[in-house]
Chains A and B, each alone.
Chain A
Amino acid sequence: MSEPAWKNPAVKWIDERMPIFTVMRHSAIEYPTPKNLSYWWNFGSLSGFMLVLMIATGVVLAMQYTPNSELAFDSVERIMRDVNYGWLLRYVHMNGASFFFIAVYIHIFRGLYYGSYKTPRELLWWLGLVILILMMATAFMGYVLPWGQMSFWGATVITNLFSAIPLAGKHIVTWLWGGFAVDNPTLNRFFSLHYLLPFVIVAVVFLHLWALHTSKSNNPLGIDTKGPQDTIPFHPYYTVKDLFGLGVFLIVYLGVVFFVPNFFGEPDNFIPANPLSTPQHIVPEWYFLPYYAILRSIPDKLLGVIAMFSSIFVLFALPWLDFSRVRSARFRPVYKKVYWLLLIDVLVLGYVGANPPEGPILYVGRIATAYYFLHWLVIVPLIALFERPKPLPTSIGTPVLGAAAAASARTMEKA
């Protein structure tokens, strides 16, 4: 990288003392990006946008919200009725959680399809999983804050998961609650942590981007870029592509905010929390349903909890479970098929999680749970072992330009 000569004297003065402008130019403008990225590569920056939007709306909402078990429910209703634009900020925040997860889940499944977790991007993949776990904790605690029936009983059920830990479980749960049940101390600490964790996410996002900019972006062909002829600068090419995608994403997201703002909500959460009465049917938010289905499919409490947490932890081992050296599913005929089976399996688990575990649903849930683990622990390694991948193109340009043209493009670049 050549030192850019900054013309503006103030910029130059700062950059000589702390090269912030050079670093920004290097990583947001010049950053060499594969020239063949599809729209599936939009969802990283979309997730980043949602994180910023959630923090911005959250900071303003916190100025109006009261984290007290007597006052919380009414303070949320006050935001909805009396606070200027309170209804908008809350609906943007509330549905923002759902759309943040939509963006992140698509981002993850993009990575699974194109093998973005494979060497040299293992650490990048891990940091992404850490972000997912932090997001889940943040979303769970945020859902508790309005202190409706579903908030309260969701908090009760989820914190009780820790009581499955042998010996210390009961003490851990009391410690989490700060009492003998979910109550005001619990609400207070959840609010504190709900405010803290997004900033921890910001920090891990920086590490995620650092790892990304070290190993560089993967691409739909899953082959390495071989030189400048395979890349284009991030700005303006991908800034514009990301902005266009953002526009489309916002149409859908704000469509929900303005026209069906309670689409993802539960009617029970319009009833203030009552510690003496459990709603008939407790369901978590949609983005937790597959994990919830796994939890309920196992008849043993401790094993159910272990299986639920393992469903994410198994993904940390994925770079080694899938040791095939071909990244993109485009060149992996068998992996491509089981990839879609896995996606269907996860959707089935989501459906099961939304329904009471009775009759056929219970058995569907058990089969889907078994298949989920079978996929990662058996099927994926076996495919890596036996699959015969299709021949890889020699360069990113080849599939579009043909081999000869790609070669001449390379020589022109050199000349």
Chain B
Amino acid sequence: MASSAQSGAHGAQGAGVKRRDFLYLATGAAGAIGAAIAAWPFIYSMNPAADVLALSTVEVDLAPVQTGQRITVKWRSQPVFVAHRTEDEVKAADDVNLEELRDPQADSARVKKPEWLIMVGICTHLGCVPLGQKPSDPRGEWKGWFCPCHGSQYDTSGRIRKGPAPANLAIPQYAFLTDTTIRIG
């Protein structure tokens, strides 16, 4: 009888320890998940707010932009470069062996109409605005854009050719509403 009482007590104790372990883990896990869920609104509140997102499209009239001219438009508080390219510039962008590019992309894949190059004017290195919009700006060896911060150079298709930037200048979503109007975003 003594032995059965002992084994009973032992059994109860063994099961108790396991049950306790499970309860500790389950409580801890529930607490951790709850804390993570509670933290989410705090973290997500720092993402762009509805009014910031609402500024996401802008329409541009291209009619006054002459051949060879480059203009800057503000979209989502970022500069967008709109370049009315000359035939020479288009030809220079086309006549490139894609294998020598860091971020290979054909010029035709970067434009909807060859004479209009539309891209986000932010260097893909660390976010500076490259020079080259004004005729007096330095434009680099490939006559495109030149970033003054760390010396990245882009060609007439906005592709990275030299310097630390890893990628070509980004192409935003845009559509031609008419022959001379675009909507960016």
Contacts and interface: CB of A to CB of B under 8 A. Distances in A.
Interface in B137-184: 147-151, 164-166
A91 to B, nearest CB: 29
Interface in A140-196: 153, 156-157, 159-161, 163, 174-181, 183, 185, 189
Contact of A160 (B49, B76, B126): B126
A280 B148 contact: yes
Interface in B41-93: 43, 46-49, 52, 72, 74, 76-79
A44 to B, nearest CB: 35
Contact of B76 (A179, A185, A280): A179
A301 interface: yes
Nearest to A155: B127
B148 A281 contact: yes
Interface in A263-321: 275-282, 296, 299-301, 304
Contacts of A176: 46
A183 B49 CA distance: 12
Contact of B52 (A159, A185, A356): A185
A358 interface: yes
Nearest to B72: A276
A163 B131 CA distance: 22
A357 interface: yes
B129 interface: yes
Contacts of B48: 174, 177-180, 185
A301 B48 CA distance: 26
B164 A278 contact: no
B128 interface: yes
Contact of B46 (A161, A178, A356): A178
A157 B76 contact: no
Contacts of A281: 148
Contacts of B72: 276
A358 B164 CA distance: 13
Contacts of A301: 125-126, 164-166
B74 A276 contact: yes
B125 A174 contact: no
A372 B48 CA distance: 39
A180 B125 contact: no
Chain B interface category by residue count: 20 to 34
Question: Which label, helix, strand, loop or mixed, suits the secondary structure of the B interface?
Answer: loop
Contacts, number: 82
Nearest to B45: A178
Chain A interface category by residue count: 20 to 34
A87 B129 CA distance: 33
Contact of A175 (B47, B78, B125, B148): B47
Interface in B1-55: 43, 46-49, 52
A276 B128 CA distance: 9
Contacts of B166: 300-301
Nearest to B79: A276
Contacts of A358: 151
Contacts of B150: 296, 357
B77 A179 contact: yes
A161 B127 CA distance: 9
Contacts of A159: 127
Contacts of A278: 128-129, 131, 147-149
A282 B149 contact: yes
Contacts of B43: 175
B78 A157 contact: no
Given A185-B52, A304-B164, A180 B76 contact: yes
A358 B162 CA distance: 13
A221 B151 CA distance: 49
B129 A276 contact: yes
Nearest to B74: A276
A180 B78 contact: yes
A174 B149 contact: no
A176 B48 CA distance: 9
A272 to B, nearest CB: 15
A155 to B, nearest CB: 9
Most buried by B among A277, A279, A300: A277
A261 B112 CA distance: 53
Contacts of B78: 180-181, 275
A174 B150 CA distance: 22
Contacts of B131: 278
A32 to B, nearest CB: 43
Contacts of A181: 76-78, 122
Nearest 5 Cβ contacts at the A-B interface: A160-B127, A180-B76, A160-B126, A278-B128, A157-B126
Given A157-B127, A157-B128, 10 more contacts: A153-B149, A175-B46, A181-B76, A181-B122, A185-B52, A275-B74, A276-B129, A300-B166, A301-B125, A301-B166
Interface of B: 43, 46-49, 52, 72, 74, 76-79, 122, 125-129, 131, 147-151, 164-166
10 contacts: A153-B149, A156-B128, A160-B127, A175-B46, A179-B77, A180-B52, A181-B77, A276-B72, A278-B147, A278-B148
